[in-house]
Amino acid sequence: MESTYKKTGGCIVCGASEVTILDPPFSDSFTGYSELVSGDGVCEKCNVMFIDRNHTWKSWIKVGNETTFYKMKEMRQWLLAPPERPFSIYLTKGRKKIGWIPLLRLENYSQDNFIIGTDFLSVVMINRKEITIMDKLISTLREHKTSKNVLLSGEFPAIAWRKAIEEGWEEDIKNALGNKNNPQWEVMVHVAV
């Protein structure tokens, strides 16, 4: 790619100004135009994100300049215990859509309140205390053989209710229903075992 035209300008992805920029590497199927900012092209750092398709195919955590790729479930540990240095977290379910563009303009400095990117809910504000409680509840309900679909839809079948009442965990179902439609809940269900 030696022949790529290079110039100095603003990056339409991360918003950096006065950087070396390249022509946008977007494919015909690129749908993220609404998330771009004004500028002249794509900087070399952002270009790597598009060229290395792992950023779209896998979930990842970026700490400093180091990106490590994971399966969605392996990201649970990072959500519950994020690193102490500035970080970005991305979760993908579909592995097709480029959902990480907003992350290139957001870096997290707090381990207790942070923003993650996903390809199923765009960006999600995470409160570590809240997701820790949700994670415990999800683990308990998973032990009671509750499917992820039920956890997301809140449609617990009658048989689950009956069993819960008999065994004394109907409060867990009620608490799960209280979390329905909470983006953090959806995230934690997806990363749950």
Site for Zn ion in 64-93 (CB under 5 A): none
Q: Does 176 bind Zn ion (CB under 5 A)?
A: no
Which of 3-11, 54-62, 70-78, 176-184 is the region at the interface with Zn ion (rule: CB under 5 A)? 3-11
Site for Zn ion in 6-45 (CB under 5 A): 11, 13-14, 43
The one among 22, 39, 41, 46 contacting Zn ion by CB under 5 A: 46
Between 88 and 179, CB nearer to Zn ion? 88
- Tell me, by CB under 5 A, how many residues bind Zn ion: 5
Which of 46-54, 145-153, 156-164, 168-176 is the region at the interface with Zn ion (rule: CB under 5 A)? 46-54
Q: Does 134 bind Zn ion (CB under 5 A)?
A: no
Between 108 and 184, CB nearer to Zn ion? 108
Q: Report the nearest approach of Zn ion to the CB of residue 54 (Å).
A: 18
Rg (C-alpha) for the chain, rounded Å, is 20
Which residues are near Zn ion by CB under 5 A? 11, 13-14, 43, 46
